[in-house]
């Protein structure tokens, strides 16, 4: 990596949430340039929220997310957030990866078209250019989305559950692509559920349970003690136990926020102020 910051993204006591209800609390740390990181945690632990925070789609309620100057971001959203019935062709979806270079209605150059064709070839979908995205299998759609990331040629790549609902061959092809991106020096963060996959292919891991449980080398993060903590949190969540102890010293003076389970339980119990 050239000179400059070692971190691609740094988080300073970041709390992210919706309508004053935090989904990720008090996160501090950084994604080093060139790191390949798995983001893990139960459903609702804040993984997608964190990704939206990094892209800037969601502004922190408090704290700061700093993206190093010159970084460009490619983001693959969770499939549940995509409208599969949108009347678009494969080529249109991949071309969207070029919009920040060309504008949404900008004309694509011959070089752009060649890049789109090459990206589709890389993901094993040569000849699919004119297919409607509503005709694709889950695995094929995920390949198309990877082709879109490819044409973006970004330094920072964020993938939210790219391995859900795909076949084994697609899984192995997409893991190869991710490994290649890392070898090219890109910073890659991927939401993954399968811990065996995380162990096999991801050097770094971040374990979330609405707060950071662990963020380190994968082997350390997946220690039983951490996994238990993440699971315990999930259990205490149901019992509405308070668990955030950090708010007495919020240096950012951010928006005061209720704390997850308590707030939700209050709402359900009708105790909300
Ligand atoms: P994960 O990706 O780890 O499954 P999310 O980041 O999607 O979790 O969600 C974390 C919490 O934030 C959940 O309790 C979820 O219900 C809530 N949440 C997510 N998106 C929204 C939204 N748009 N509005 C309100 N709450 C949301
Ligand atoms: Mg999610």
Q: How much distance in Å is there from the Cα of 191 to the middle of ligand 1?
A: 14
Ligand 1 atom having least distance to the Cα of 208: 3
Could you give the 3-state DSSP secondary structure of residue 101? helix
Q: How far is CA 16 from CA 62, 155, 200, 261, in A?
A: 7, 24, 30, 15
Residues in contact with 95: Cβ distance below 8 Å, sequence separation at least 6, in sequence order: 108, 112, 116, 151
Ligand nearest to the Cα of 53, by number: 1
For ligand 1, mutation pick of 18, 238, 259 (most atoms within 8 Å of CB): 18
Mean predicted confidence (pLDDT) in 117-133: 95
pLDDT score for 76:
95
Q: Which long-range contacts (CB under 8 A, 24 or more apart) does 243-252 make?
A: 243/211, 244/22, 244/25, 244/26, 244/211, 246/13, 246/25, 246/26, 250/13, 250/62, 251/13, 252/12, 252/13, 252/62, 252/63, 252/64
Mean predicted confidence (pLDDT) in 259-273: 44
For ligand 1, mutation pick of 40, 44, 160, 267 (most atoms within 8 Å of CB): 44
Q: How much distance in Å is there from the Cα of 144 to the middle of ligand 1?
A: 25
Mean predicted confidence (pLDDT) in 17-39: 94
Ligand nearest to the Cα of 46, by number: 1
- CB distance 156 to 74 below 8 Å: yes
Q: Which of 29-33, 101-105, 200-204 has the lowest mean pLDDT?
A: 101-105
Ligand nearest to the Cα of 17, by number: 1
CA distance 124 to 143: 8
pLDDT score for 108:
72
Q: How much distance in Å is there from the Cα of 99 to the middle of ligand 2?
A: 25
pLDDT score for 1:
42
pLDDT tens digits, 199-254: 999 999 999 999 999 999 999 999 999 999 998 776 565 444 344 544 444 444 45
Which protein residues touch ligand 1 with a CB less than 6 Å away?
Answer: 18, 23, 41, 43-49
CA distance 78 to 223: 27
Tokens of 246: 């950090």
pLDDT value at 270 more than 50: no
pLDDT tens digits, 40-61: 999 999 999 999 999 999 999 9
- CA nearest 168: which of 150, 187, 194, 146? 194
- CA nearest 191: which of 43, 82, 67? 43
| Band of pLDDT at residue 20, cut at 50, 70 and 90 | confident
Q: How far is CA 136 from CA 125, 175, 222, 229, in A?
A: 11, 20, 35, 39
Residue % of the chain over a pLDDT of 70: 81
């Amino acid at each position: 990596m050239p000179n400059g910051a070692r971190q691609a993204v740094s988080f300073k006591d970041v709390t992210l949430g919706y309508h004053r209800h935090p989904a990720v609390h008090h996160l501090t740390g950084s994604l080093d340039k060139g790191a390949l990181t798995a983001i893990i945690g139960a459903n609702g632990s804040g993984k997608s929220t964190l990704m939206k925070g990094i892209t800037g789609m969601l502004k922190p309620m408090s704290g700061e997310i700093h993206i190093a100057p010159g970084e460009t971001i490619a983001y693959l959203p969770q499939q549940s957030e995509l409208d599969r019935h949108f009347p678009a062709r494969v080529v249109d979806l991949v071309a969207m990866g070029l919009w920040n270079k060309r504008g949404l209605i900008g004309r694509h150059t011959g070089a752009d078209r060649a890049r789109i064709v090459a990206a589709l070839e890389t993901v094993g979908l040569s000849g699919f250019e004119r297919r409607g995205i509503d005709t694709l299998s889950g695995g094929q759609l995920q390949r198309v989305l990877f082709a879109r990331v490819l044409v973006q040629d970004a330094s920072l790549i964020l993938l939210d559950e790219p391995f859900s609902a795909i076949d084994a061959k697609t899984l192995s092809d997409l893991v190869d692509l991710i490994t290649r991106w890392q070898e090219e020096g890109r910073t890659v963060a991927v939401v993954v559920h399968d811990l065996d996959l995380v162990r096999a292919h991801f050097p770094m891991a971040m374990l979330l349970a609405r707060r950071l449980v662990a963020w380190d080398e994968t082997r350390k993060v997946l220690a039983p003690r951490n996994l238990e903590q993440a699971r315990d949190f999930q259990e205490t969540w149901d019992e509405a136990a308070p668990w955030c102890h950090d708010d007495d010293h919020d240096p950012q003076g951010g928006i005061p926020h209720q704390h997850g389970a308590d707030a939700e339980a209050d709402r359900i119990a009708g105790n909300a102020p």
